[in-house]
């Protein structure tokens, strides 16, 4: 471990630069700020945050948060220096506060995070904005995506539970019946299932579905009988199953 004295000297100039930017003394020196944001690892960012507090007796993140709305660079610095769950909460808030909801960004965050990560995002959202992310999604998102994303958010309450392969097989059969037993897909059963299983458990259900029936659920959802709900669900399922894409 690097001695604190050496760490302090190494990052003290970064803190001075950030302080000058925030206080307005050196507000025009954007290249230095950009260099800090792009060249430091997140572990180094944590050191800078701690050192800034020690030098100036102020919380660096709080200062950036208070100026981020009126300054694009402050917002970039705030996002870069935040914990991942705080950054996600900020992005979701911006998405839901706009005149038009950016569904692609919203789906990417909600559907690629683990249940534990989603819980942290929800807590940060509530703490920072005094609002409930599930309620805001319900108010701003419409159609099938509203039900589906709400179910995924609700499912995060099941974080920490171990993956049960036997249950995954049973749920895959339930999912298949919901897809095939009627003239149209059983939306209520699918939404109920999604809301009651953690992200890891739901991924296991999707894997079991492919194992049992020889194709991914997303391919089954391409049929016309699945309607608009099926199209919306397919987008979410593909994001859950293949987050790298």
98 is in an annotated binding site: no
Which of 198, 196, 193, 206 minimizes the C-alpha distance to 241?
A: 206
- Tokens in use for 214? 């020889």
> Is there a contact between 85 and 121 (Cβ–Cβ < 8 Å)?
yes
- Tokens in use for 28? 């025009």
Q: DSSP label at 70?
A: T
In whole angstroms, give the CA distance from residue 95 to residue 91: 6
> Is there a contact between 69 and 94 (Cβ–Cβ < 8 Å)?
no
Rounded to 10°, the helix 84-97/115-129 angle is: 60
34 contacts: CB under 8 Å, gap ≥ 6: 73
Binding residue positions for Ca(2+): 24
Binding positions are 24
């Amino acid at each position: 471990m690097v001695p604190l004295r050496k760490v302090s000297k190494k990052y003290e100039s970064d803190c001075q630069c950030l302080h000058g930017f925030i206080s307005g003394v050196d507000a025009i020196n954007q290249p230095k700020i950009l260099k800090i944001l792009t060249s430091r690892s997140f572990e180094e960012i944590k050191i800078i945050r701690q050192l800034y507090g020690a030098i100036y007796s102020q919380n660096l993140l709080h200062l950036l948060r208070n100026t981020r709305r009126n300054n694009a660079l402050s917002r970039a610095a705030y996002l870069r220096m935040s914990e991942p769950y705080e950054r996600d909460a900020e992005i979701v808030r911006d998405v839901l506060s706009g005149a038009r909801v950016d569904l692609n960004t919203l789906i990417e965050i909600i559907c690629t995070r683990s249940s534990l990560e989603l819980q942290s995002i929800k807590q940060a959202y509530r703490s920072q904005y005094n609002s409930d992310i599930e309620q805001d999604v319900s108010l701003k998102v419409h159609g099938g995506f509203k039900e589906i994303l709400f179910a995924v958010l609700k499912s995060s309450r099941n974080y920490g539970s171990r993956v049960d392969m036997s249950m995954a097989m049973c749920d895959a059969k339930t999912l298949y019946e919901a897809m095939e037993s009627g003239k149209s897909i059983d939306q209520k059963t699918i939404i109920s299932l999604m809301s009651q299983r953690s992200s890891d458990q739901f991924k296991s259900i999707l894997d079991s579905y492919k194992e049992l029936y020889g194709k991914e659920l997303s391919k089954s959802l391409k049929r016309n009988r699945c309607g608009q709900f099926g199209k919306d669900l397919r987008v979410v399922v593909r994001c859950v199953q293949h987050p790298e894409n």
